[in-house]
Amino acid sequence: MNDVTVKHDGALTTAGRGFEGVTKEDLLIPRASLLQALSPEIVEGMDGAKAGQIRNSLTHDLLPSRVIPIFCFKNYMRFNPRNRQDAAFNPNYEAGAVIWRSIDPNDPKVQEECTFGENGENPLATTFLNVFSLFPGVSMPIVLSFSKTSYKTGKQLLSLARFCGGDFWSRAYQLGSTLVTNDKGSYYVFTVTSLGESSAEERTTAEGWWTMFSEKAQALKVHEEELEA
């Protein structure tokens, strides 16, 4: 890790004692958790928790809406259906359990089970588009995981950033949520809106995190990523 950490004010500083031998791969990177009506925080009655809120999955703190994306990476997972009557249910696994996971887009399982069927059937497995991000005022990096109904929003973020040119972190975005209702029910999905150029301080912090983490992005451990299935 080069013994570097980031304080609340965004300054790069030397890590304190006791972290000798700790590597990036040892860290658990929290997600931006979008609360749904049946999210554990709401079911368990966490004070102030409401559907549609976006919280740090590790600390449960509300996240600010301003976000600076830094780099992206993908991973792939197949979950056993929760409905035992589902044709894809595998009796060798518990309902909702992870059947397999991969970070290799060329993995035969990924090639076969992460694509739509010939007649538009949904993929058996889930593709996660992960954006390693800076939320100004938050001392730790946060991963935005876009999958299934939110995947379109992830592609929107990538498109807005890519076509504007410059580094991924050269622009800031507002992260929000909106309620969607369809034949599957009602649920919240992420929304993103461009806020223009990021500040010099934000760019300095983001570049530092990019240097520290991007080279081995696929080895990062993202907190509770399976909950977004």
The pLDDT of residue 30 is 94
For the segment 103-147, what is each residue's pLDDT rounded down to a tens digit? 999 999 999 999 887 777 889 999 999 999 999 999 899 999 999
Residue 75 exposed, middle or buried by CB count within 10 Å (0-12, 13-18, 19+): buried
Model pTM greater than 0.95? no
Yes or no: say if 139 and 13 are a contact pair by the CB < 8 Å rule.
no
Q: What is the pLDDT of residue 180?
A: 92
CA contacts within 13 A on the Cβ side of 120: 0
Q: Is the pLDDT of residue 32 over 70?
A: yes
* Structural domain that includes position 129: 4-228
Q: What's residue 8's pLDDT?
A: 41
pLDDT confidence of residue 14: 53
Residue 216 pLDDT exceeds 90: no
Using an 8 Å Cβ cutoff, are 71 and 29 in contact?
no
Residues 6+ apart with CB under 8 A from 210: 70, 71, 169
3-state DSSP assignment of residue 227: helix
C-alpha pair distances (Å), 166 with each of 74, 169, 216: 22, 8, 22
How many folded domains does the chain comprise? Answer: 1
The per-residue pLDDT for range 201-213, each reduced to its tens digit, is 999 999 999 998 8
